[in-house]
Amino acid sequence: MRHLLAAGVEIWELPGTVVHAKVVVADDVVSFGTVNLDAWALYRNSELMLLARSAEVAEQFRERLFEPDIARCHAGLPPTGVEALRSAFADKLTYYL
């Protein structure tokens, strides 16, 4: 998470829920589908992702998907202390599961 934030990625947290959408909007390109963005899904599973290179589609995703959720969110912060250790351990462990 620290690397993403340092690279300028916006991360938002919606307390009390899990948002399972797999959507990335970068400039005028949108990727969406069932693919999880981790080593297991990208190299071992058969997943589906669509790529739309369209400013209009990107804007629709921003307006209809992101803006309503972001209005209820707070900015995401990297875990600290024990939670940071738990997170790092879980990340490494899930690679092998």
What average pLDDT score do residues 29-34 get? 90
Tokens of 37: 């963005």
Q: Which domains are present in the chain?
A: 2-96 (3.30.870.10)
**Does this model's pTM top 0.85?**
no
Quote the percentage of the chain above a pLDDT of 70: 99
Query: pLDDT at residue 84 above 80?
Result: yes
Taking phi over 0 as left and psi of -120 to 50 as alpha, with beta for the rest, 6 belongs to alpha
pLDDT (tens digit, 9 = 90+) per residue, 32-69?
Answer: 988 877 777 777 777 788 999 999 999 999 999 889 98
Query: pLDDT at residue 96 above 80?
Result: no
Residue bearing the bigger pLDDT, 97 or 48 = 48
Instruction: Please state, in angstroms and rounded to a whole number, the distance separating the CA atoms of residues 77 and 84.
Output: 11
pLDDT of amino acid 3: 87
